[in-house]
Structure 1
Amino acid sequence: MMLPISGGCACGKVRYDCSEKPIVQLICHCRDCQHASGAAFAATIFVPADRLEYKIDTELHFYDVQAESGRTLRRNSCGECGSPISAHWPDLPGVVLLAVGGLDDQSVFEPTHELWVSRAQAWHPFLPHTIKLEAGPTDDVVRDPLRAYFAARKS
């Protein structure tokens, strides 16, 4: 994977570079992700917040939503064109969830899991190689890889 991972919005007023490989990569079929992406699912990579640098030439629009897990998720989008940029959990500030649709090179996306398949649209096919979870992620999908990543950085 070539670093940095770069991306931005449709109008180009929001750009970003991440100097680290994604920690977690997944597809989420929950209704909130469907609404936020405007599609059948959201494709997301989790990156360390301190390795992500934004270049912003407009206002970002932020909004909080309560996810199906019950956790608050803060989403942001370009204030000019409305493209989804990223999201984060306020209680986990060290991680940013980037929308794969904004990546310059989407071929870096290699999802391992599909979440909330119980909410997936019947007409949408699943990827054959992903692990499917009926609801939200178990610790081994998100929390454990995040803990391992940050523990390795401290040592």
Structure 2
Amino acid sequence: MSLSGHCLCGAVTYSTDSDPIMVAICHCTDCQRQSGAPFSLNVAVDRDALTIGGDSLTTYETVGGAMDMKRERMFCNRCGSPLISVLEEAGDMAFIKAGTLDDTSVITPELEVYTDSAQPWFHAAEAEERGLFPAGIPT
């Protein structure tokens, strides 16, 4: 499968020919703060197969998660769009922010992670069909 996308202003683009490793709804508080939303929808792909272009990509590094490990959060410094996250504990995966894909119809969430941080009013209709991981991502 081929995936491509860009930030809101179009200054940063990305593409990959890697099939998604997983598509996950993330309820961690970092994703909530970064996105300004109750969760983030992420597409995990092989980091080595991801090509990023543009001159306004900036990386903000945090430490978090259940294991207090490094996170690299990549975004466009012109429009502020969050684009990609790389988590230390996730090995060779990069997580594309699904809202930045050129075609979001090709993905469907398969699991939910950090469900202990989910908003108490969030109850996905299909949640029983997805894997639920209360405090992290499956690796």
**CA deviation profile, 1:74-102 (whole Å, cap 9, x unmatched):** 10100110000101135766321111010
Task: Map Cα deviations across residues 54-113 of structure 1 (whole Å, 9 max, x no partner).
Answer: 221x32121111122211111010011000010113576632111101001112222221
State the secondary structure of the residue aligned to 1:80.
coil
Structure number, greater radius of gyration: 1
The percent of aligned pairs where both chains have the same amino acid is: 32
- Indicate how the Cα distance of structure 1 residues 7 and 45 shifts in structure 2: closer, same or farther if over 3 A, else same: same
Q: Which runs of 4+ in 1 moved over 4 A?
A: 90-93
Flag the structure with higher strand content.
2
TM-score of the two chains, using structure 1 as the length reference: 0.80
Unaligned runs of 5+ in 1: 144-155
Q: Secondary structure at the match of 1:45?
A: strand
Q: Are the equivalent residues in 1 in contact too, given 2:110–2:131 (CA < 8 A)?
A: yes
Coordinate RMSD, CA, aligned? 1.7
Task: Out of 125-134 and 88-97, give the one that drifted further.
Answer: 88-97
Closer/same/farther in 2, CA of residues 120 and 92 from structure 1, 3 Å limit: closer
- From the superposition, tell whether residues 24 and 30 of structure 1 become closer, same or farther in structure 2 (CA, over 3 Å): same
Q: 1:133 and 2:133 equivalent? A: yes
Question: Cα gap change, 1:35/1:131 in structure 2, threshold over 3 Å: closer, same or farther?
Answer: same
Normalised by the length of structure 2, the TM-score is: 0.88
Partner of 1:81: 79
Would you say the 8 A contact 2:11–2:56 is kept in 1? no
Q: Which residue of 2 aligns with 1:22?
A: 20
